[in-house]
Amino acid sequence: MQNPNCMVMVDNCYGEFVEISEPAMVGADLIAGSLIKNPGGTIAPCGGYVAGKEHLVEAAAARLSAPGLGVEFGSTPGHVMRALFQGLFLGPQMVGEAVKVGLLTANGWRYNACT
């Protein structure tokens, strides 16, 4: 039986766009990740995210920002927003290409090992 006081937090770095379901869809209470890696298409210069149950997101935001600011403000300066949005646009394509290369390489190694 699951402990009702247990909270599941997942560091989802490099996990975005790779699987069909995200951790929050299968029971994680809180997920966090970097917007520089997968969702940022490797061109976003900064940023991160926290998602999940509202009270846990608010608690994380209170801890990760200045006291009293919560989720109202972030540390991302306005001049980087263009690169951030470009990264969000390119992210799924970049991840798809990385997964394809990984599968191709794995199959190549398997083929070479068998011959």
Read off the pLDDT of residues 45-96 as tens digits, 9 standing for 90 and up: 877 888 999 999 888 888 777 666 766 666 666 778 888 888 888 888 888 8
pTM metric for this prediction? 0.69
Round to whole Å and give the CA distance between 82 and 115. 49
Residue 56 · residue 29 · CB < 8 Å: yes
Residue 94 · residue 42 · CB < 8 Å: yes
Position 74 scores a pLDDT of: 64
Position 54 scores a pLDDT of: 92
Position 59 scores a pLDDT of: 87
Q: What is the per-residue pLDDT across 12-58, written as a single tens digit (0 to 9) for each?
A: 887 888 888 888 889 899 999 888 888 888 788 877 888 999 999 88
Residues 6 or more apart from 89 whose CB is under 8 A from it? Answer: 41
Position 39 scores a pLDDT of: 81
